[in-house]
């Protein structure tokens, strides 16, 4: 049963309520390894579903365009203060609707159409908003990209410096969406200073690890930090931009009125809750366990013959190249879904296959760590992945794996769902 209860939704719209309940059950019954997903706490769920969704609040605290902000302003200020404290930054904007608008705000604040910026190539682990040709960032701006080494799977900072010197970008983005290794923020900062660029760190995937001390922080190195608030941070679907005082006004103006109208106050409140939870001592242990689980899973997968990009992981994320298994990422991911393991197909560096049917799979350990799985369970997870990829189209074999997984997960409670009927 969904927690909090869906009693009113069930009475008003039983069809939709049934779908939500079924989704909650699905999330309980599967090993969720999508690197950008997690489970939020019941407190975050309650804030997200609160009466704050009724209120429109265009502007910023103390400078709104609508009346009735006596309580909304303190909520946003609380989220801002908690973000500043947790990440050790002078300024925090908690209004971006998601990670993509947060990144767009960086471009709007510091660039004009046609200007050059620099980022990690999408196929090597970057993000769509880092200059993909199908994104507005690739259509209206001039992206130049650095990549990873074919043999190492890691960013070569000498190559980054050479490209930056040659291209003189206005903005340099570090970070991305499929990077299994530690990001060298000090080296990026040195290159940005040398070339006069604004350094933007996209830490959407690792924000919770940074907050929990399990990954180095870009604070003090990056001029601007963008992040989503879900993934490893374990908050609602939202985003934040963290900046120095020097760039605070430009970023705030880029978000409003540059890109957005009124913020989603229910999301702002849920972000504040998640930040409070991330500041508690237990969250540091959670972040450490995410990384430990990923390392143990990477080792177990390698022992079963899987080829991991860069040879392993330093964080929550593992990128697998399935070329040596004779199967594409898409059919493998679909087989795993039937077997009760949820992840996503993904391109790998120098992938000869198309993005819609690439050679790889991406997975992460944030959600299963929230459920309470530990390093001792990772060998079993790797075994199930191996069996499912090998079985592929053998539905009875996949069903057997799904049953085994459900038996395991029944012993690990899920936030937001209860077996009670």
User: Which residues are tagged catalytic?
Assistant: 56, 58, 202, 228, 231, 237
Q: Rounded to an integer, what distance in angstroms lies between the CA atom of residue 297 and that of residue 363?
A: 10
Taking the C-alpha atoms of residue 1 and residue 135, their distance in angstroms, rounded to an integer, is 39
Three-class secondary structure of residue 360 per DSSP: strand
SS3 labels along 78-131:
HHHHHHHHHHCCCEEECCCCCHHHHHHHHHHHHCCCCCEEEEECHHHCCCHHHC
Tokens of 250: 């430009």
Helix boundaries (H) for 245-365: 245-253, 265-278, 281-303, 329-338
Alpha-carbon distance 375 to 356, whole Å? 32
81 is in an annotated binding site: no
Residues 158, 190 contacting (CB under 8 angstroms):
no
Largest CA distance in the chain: 64
128 is in an annotated binding site: yes
Q: Is 148 helix (H, G, I), strand (E, B) or coil?
A: strand
Which residue stretches of 203-242 are H helix? 207-211
Residue 122, annotated as binding a ligand: yes
C-beta of residue 363 within 8 angstroms of C-beta of residue 34: yes
The answer on whether 209 is annotated among ligand-binding residues is no
DSSP codes, 157-187: HHHHHHHHHHH--SEEEEE-SS--S---HHH
Structure tokens at 43: 């407190």
Is 238 labelled as part of a ligand binding site?
no
C-alpha–C-alpha distance, residues 98 and 206, integer Å: 15
E-only strand ranges, 211-346: 224-228, 239-243, 307-308, 317-321, 341-342, 344-346
Which conformational region is residue 362 in: left (phi greater than 0), alpha (psi within -120 to 50 degrees), or beta?
A: beta
Contacts of 90 (CB under 8 A, 6+ apart): 84, 243, 244, 245, 248
Cα atoms found within 13 Å of the Cα of residue 88, Cβ hemisphere only: 12
* Distance (Å, whole) CA 166 – CA 233: 36
Q: Which residues are annotated as a binding site for (6S)-5,6,7,8-tetrahydrofolate?
A: 122, 126-128, 245
Q: Residues annotated as binding site?
A: 122, 126-128, 245
């Amino acid at each position: 049963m969904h927690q909090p209860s869906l009693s009113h939704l069930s009475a008003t719209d039983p069809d939709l309520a049934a779908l939500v309940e079924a989704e909650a059950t699905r999330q309980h019954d599967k090993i969720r390894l999508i690197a950008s997903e997690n489970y939020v706490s019941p407190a975050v769920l309650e804030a997200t579903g609160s009466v704050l969704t009724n209120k429109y609040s265009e502007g910023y605290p103390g400078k709104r365009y609508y009346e009735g902000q006596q309580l909304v302003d303190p909520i946003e200020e609380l989220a801002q203060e908690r973000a500043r404290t947790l990440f050790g930054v002078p300024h925090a904007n908690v209004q971006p609707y998601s990670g993509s608008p947060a990144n767009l705000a960086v471009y709007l604040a510091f660039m004009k159409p046609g200007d050059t910026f620099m980022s990690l190539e999408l196929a090597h682990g970057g993000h769509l908003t880092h200059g993909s040709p199908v994104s507005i960032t690739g259509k209206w701006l001039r992206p130049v990209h650095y990549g990873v080494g074919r043999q190492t799977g890691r960013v070569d900072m000498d190559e980054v410096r050479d490209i930056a010197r040659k291209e003189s970008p206005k903005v340099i983005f570090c970070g991305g969406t499929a990077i299994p290794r530690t990001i060298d923020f000090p080296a990026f900062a040195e290159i940005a200073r040398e070339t006069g660029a604004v350094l933007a760190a996209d830490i959407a995937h690792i924000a919770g690890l940074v907050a929990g001390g399990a990954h180095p922080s870009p604070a003090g190195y990056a001029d601007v930090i963008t992040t989503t608030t879900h993934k490893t941070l374990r908050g609602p679907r939202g985003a934040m931009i963290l900046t120095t005082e020097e760039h605070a006004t430009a970023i705030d103006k880029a978000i409003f009125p540059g890109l957005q109208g009124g913020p989603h106050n229910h999301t702002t409140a849920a972000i504040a809750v998640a930040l409070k939870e991330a500041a508690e001592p237990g969250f540091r242990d959670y972040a450490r366990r995410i990384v430990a689980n990923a390392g143990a899973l990477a080792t177990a997968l390698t022992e079963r013959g899987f080829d991991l990009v860069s040879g392993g992981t330093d964080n929550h994320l593992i990128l697998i190249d399935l070329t040596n298994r004779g199967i594409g990422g898409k059919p493998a991911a679909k087989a795993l879904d039937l077997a009760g393991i949820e992840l996503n197909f993904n391109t790998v560096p120098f992938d000869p296959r198309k993005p819609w049917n690439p050679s790889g799979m991406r997975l992460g350990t944030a959600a299963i760590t929230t459920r309470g799985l530990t390093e001792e369970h990772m060998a079993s997870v790797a075994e199930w992945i191996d069996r499912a990829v090998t079985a592929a189209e053998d539905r009875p074999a996949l069903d057997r794996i799904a049953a085994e997984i459900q038996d395991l997960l029944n012993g690990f409670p899920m936030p937001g769902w209860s077996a009670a009927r």
